[in-house]
Amino acid sequence: MSNLVTDLPTAAPAAAANRIQSMPMAKAINAGLRQAMLDNSKVLLMGEDIGPLGGVFRVTEGLQAEFGSTRVMDTPLAESGIIGTAIGLAMRGFRPVCEIQFDGFIFPGFNQITTQLAKLTNRHEGALQMPVVIRVPYGGHIGAVEHHQESPEALFAHTAGLRIVSPSTPNDAYWMIQESIASNDPVMFFEPKSRYWPKGDVDFSASAAPLHSTRVARVGTDITLLGHGAMVSMLLEAAEIAAEEGTSIEVIDLRSVSPIDYAPILASVRKTGRLVVAQEAPGFVSIGSEIAATVTEKAFYSLEAPVLRVAAFDTPFPPAKLETIYLPDADRILEAVDRSLAY
């Protein structure tokens, strides 16, 4: 069993009063899963190699040893079977949490997610709840091969009936996984793989922010940068560089991809007059496209420049040695900042 499992409190969060720990996101999600399982015996974990191995990224490390193989279950290599089984368990009152090993492996389960899981509650006029969480490690910057570094969140955000969230910090990861499990609707929980290992403070005594709320990660006055998941750290890096040159950048962490909390975004744009939206996913028909259109519609008279988008290229994910060219970095973000400020 990992040190995390033995070091964290074994009671409800109140027992951890005033406790702040520095840990990587992978361990924060582990702690959040553990707390959810302690709080509710109906919470089950399912996925490939999540038991004794603890998953490819060791996010579930130690949980099977503590809760047993009937609550932390290794599954066959069959994503459709994992999701289909989770749907049946949810119908019987359980709260299954499914791990998809890598983002590109989710597509064998795409039909179950989009035609069944997303629609069953509506099909039963709300009488049948689907409290299923699907954990999806996603995104690049880990030097992996095709099908291991993609960002398919827009495909699921387009499907009515699914909630889509993505934390950017260990603290958000700890609280958001618990809120997702508590939701009576299906939640797609996208975990940025490149942020699994950098450490951040987790406040076990704090209250969770609403699951579908947007966060102002840095206050500024000249231009707003917006992103989600791993892109937030890239935006903060760009903001630091820009500050040295006298440009004040406000950074918005989207947190929730569907639904989107637009109030803080619009308030920021009305203050700065400019917006750059950045993402690891390709730009065509994307989350960034939707946000750009909505902000232009609702804050048109506040904009001093067009809403600009920075995204991956509209091609399949390249070999790992080319990922730094394919994925947006601070330089590409700052180039968009310069273009916006030039209007």
Please tell me whether residues 183 and 231 are part of one structural domain: no
CA distance 311 to 284: 9
Give the pLDDT score at 5: 33
Closest alpha carbon to 132 in 118, 111, 115: 118
Give the pLDDT score at 208: 87
97: tokens are: 């949490």
Instruction: Name 310's bridge partners.
Output: 278
φ/ψ of 11, rounded to 5, equals -105, -170
Please tell me whether residues 25 and 147 are part of one structural domain: yes
Please tell me whether residues 144 and 237 are part of one structural domain: no
Give the pLDDT score at 144: 80
Per-residue pLDDT of the chain (343 residues; tens, 9 = 90+): 333 333 333 334 444 445 899 999 999 999 999 999 999 999 999 999 999 999 999 999 999 999 999 999 999 999 999 999 999 999 999 999 999 999 889 999 999 999 999 999 999 999 999 999 999 999 988 888 777 888 999 999 999 999 999 999 999 999 999 999 999 999 999 999 999 999 999 999 988 899 999 999 999 999 999 999 999 999 999 999 999 999 999 999 999 999 999 999 999 999 999 999 999 999 999 999 999 999 999 999 999 999 999 999 999 999 888 999 999 999 999 999 999 999 9
Active site residues: 148
Please tell me whether residues 272 and 292 are part of one structural domain: yes
Residue 23 domain-assigned? yes
Residue 121 domain-assigned? yes
CA distance 140 to 56: 16
User: What's the CATH code of the domain at 259?
Assistant: 3.40.50.920
Please tell me whether residues 127 and 176 are part of one structural domain: yes
User: What's the CATH code of the domain at 78?
Assistant: 3.40.50.970
Domain boundary, last residue among 180, 203, 226: 203
93: tokens are: 């009152």
Residue 158 domain-assigned? yes
Residue 208 domain-assigned? no
Please tell me whether residues 198 and 279 are part of one structural domain: no
317: tokens are: 């994910």
Residue 136 domain-assigned? yes
Please tell me whether residues 169 and 23 are part of one structural domain: yes
Give the pLDDT score at 18: 58
Please tell me whether residues 188 and 263 are part of one structural domain: no
Domain boundary, last residue among 203, 229, 256: 203
Interstrand relation of 187-192 and 133-138 (parallel, antiparallel or unpaired): parallel
Query: Residues 179, 171, 290, CA angle at the centre, nearest 5°?
Result: 65
Any idea how long the chain is? 343
Please tell me whether residues 144 and 258 are part of one structural domain: no
φ/ψ of 30, rounded to 5, equals -55, -45
Domain boundary, last residue among 139, 173, 203: 203
Please tell me whether residues 198 and 219 are part of one structural domain: no
Residue 209 domain-assigned? no
CA distance 165 to 153: 9
Residue 210 domain-assigned? no
Please tell me whether residues 137 and 283 are part of one structural domain: no
CA distance 147 to 138: 10
**Count: domains in the chain:** 2
Please tell me whether residues 193 and 223 are part of one structural domain: no
- pTM metric for this prediction: 0.92
Give the pLDDT score at 2: 34
Give the pLDDT score at 127: 93
Residue 8 domain-assigned? yes
Residue range(s) defining the domain that contains residue 87? 3-203
Does an H or E element contain 308, and which? Answer: strand 308-312
